[in-house]
């Protein structure tokens, strides 16, 4: 009987601890390798900047992509051959992994801001 490698993808909430904060769905996800998964982030209303981060166990947090006014400003660390990140006007942002790999096991975080740092 073969073994299947499962990997955990955890989601943490960032922003204020109120009903008006950033929301991420799902809170956590367990999947097999080779599956497509989509993570959703609802930024705080009125915020113009949105960030997706990844933290692999034992490593520091790394920004995957940041948006301002629904346009990606820096996505140089995003593995574009497998990851798709969108933030369309007036809608939540989505991060889709087309085919999960064992190395994708990480904490994925989303944050929003009313301004961006230059």
Domain residues of the chain, as ranges? Answer: 33-77+88-106
Contact 64, 78 (CB under 8 A): yes
pLDDT for residue 10: 42
pLDDT for residue 5: 42
Residues of the chain with pLDDT under 70: 1-20, 116-118
> Angle at CA 24, nearest 5°, toward 19 and 30?
140
pLDDT for residue 90: 83
> What distance lies between CA 22 and its chain's CA centroid?
12
d(CA 33, CA 30): 10
pLDDT for residue 13: 37
pLDDT for residue 117: 59
> Angle at CA 70, nearest 5°, toward 66 and 73?
35
| pTM (predicted TM-score) | 0.79
Note the CATH number of domain 33-77+88-106: 2.60.40.10
pLDDT for residue 116: 61
């Amino acid at each position: 009987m073969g073994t299947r490698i499962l990997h955990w993808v955890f989601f943490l909430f960032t922003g204020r601890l109120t009903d008006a904060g950033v929301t991420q769905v799902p809170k956590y996800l367990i999947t097999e390798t080779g599956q497509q998964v989509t993570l959703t982030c609802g930024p705080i209303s009125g915020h113009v900047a949105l960030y997706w981060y990844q933290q692999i166990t034992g490593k520091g947090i790394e920004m995957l992509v940041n948006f301002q006014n629904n346009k990606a400003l820096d996505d140089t660390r995003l593995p574009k051959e497998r990851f798709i990140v969108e933030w369309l006007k007036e809608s939540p942002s989505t991060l889709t992994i087309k085919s999960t790999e064992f190395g994708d096991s990480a904490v994925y975080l989303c944050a929003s801001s009313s301004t961006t740092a230059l």
